[in-house]
Structure 1
């Protein structure tokens, strides 16, 4: 396969994977049965950085599944976002920083949607963990891409 044809095929696969990822992320964040619905009560939010992170770290010995699902789940759900966007824009300068900022803004948007729709809770710690996930995904792809092309 020619290089240009191979690149087009890679991009098409990347687009398909990104669409699948966005659909899966929306389902997980807004529609899964385990997500708590707060349809008549007070708004639930945490505006204190690291408050919930510390709480979940403290829960690791008694409720490891719940703690790990919250801490690692919020990171892992954004790793594909960072990796896939870096794949599409890998030749730009400061791409890891750009993707990290995009992860931050997307996470802020998701948390605001959760606040106003009362699906789940609005949590600044989720923004922190999601941003870390986007950064990790972007960095992993960036390192892989440059390592592979400099061999």
Structure 2
């Protein structure tokens, strides 16, 4: 049974990584910014103010000032996108089975992803995306640590 679970986890992890690559780097927004400098692109496409876009989307959800699809996709999409990483990383990399090591690993991974998105102009650096991705990953890690999941894997 354990070998079967490992095979299923491995195959699903590959598909998950492919989906992340498509969502983060291939399904991009930013092609209109190809003729400006990287500094200008960063200035116009980045958000370094925590909770700025989150509060905008929460307000839009409550007052209907925006098509509901936009805040739902952005808030819940960013939250859910890295939830599986909270399960996969500690499963495959035993050294990050503690919350501190996992948190540091995720901060580094998410920071690298945000920087790559800006440098390649396949997205923007948004601290709110970072926050939502991190919360999702930490919830995934919490799920990973539950007795039910740990018992299933033994």
Fold shared by both chains (TM-score > 0.5): yes
1-structure distance, mates of 2:13, 2:96: 22
SS in 1 for 2:34: coil
Identify which of 30, 36, 46 aligns with 2:29: 36
Deviation of 1:141 (Å): 2.0
2:101 alignment counterpart: 98
**1:89 to partner: Cα distance:** 5.0
For residues 83 and 56 of structure 1, what CA distance do their matches in structure 2 show? Answer: 28
* Count of residue pairs the alignment pairs up: 140
CA contact 1:99–1:134 (8 Å) conserved in 2: no
Matched with 2:83 is 79
Contact 1:45 1:122 survives alignment (8 Å): yes
**Contact kept? 2:96, 2:102, Cα under 8 Å:** no
Does the Cα contact within 8 Å between 1:78 and 1:133 map onto a contact in 2?
A: yes
- What is the rounded CA distance, in whole Å, between the counterparts of 2:142 and 2:104 in structure 1? 13
TM-score, normalization: structure 1? 0.81
Change (3 A) 1:115 1:15: same
The correspondence for 1:135, drawn from 111, 134, 138, is 138
Name stretches of at least 5 consecutive residues in structure 1 with no aligned partner. 1-5
Offset, 1:76 = 0.3
**Match runs of 1:47-58 below 5 Å:** 47-58=48-59
Offset of residue 18 of structure 1: 1.0
1:127 shift after superposition: 0.8
What does the per-residue CA deviation read over 1:42-77, in whole Å, with 9 as the maximum and x for residues that have no partner? 311111111111111111123221001111110100
Q: Supply the distance in 2 between the matched residues of 1:29 and 1:96 (Cα, whole angstroms).
A: 25
Q: Normalised by the size of structure 2, how large is the TM-score?
A: 0.80
Separation of aligned partners in 1, 2:99 and 2:134:
11
Q: Aligned to 2:92, which of 71, 88, 92?
A: 88
Structure 2 runs not aligned, ≥5 long: none
In angstroms, what is the RMSD of aligned CA positions? 2.0
Q: Is the Cα–Cα contact under 8 Å of residues 100 and 132 in structure 1 kept in the other structure?
A: no
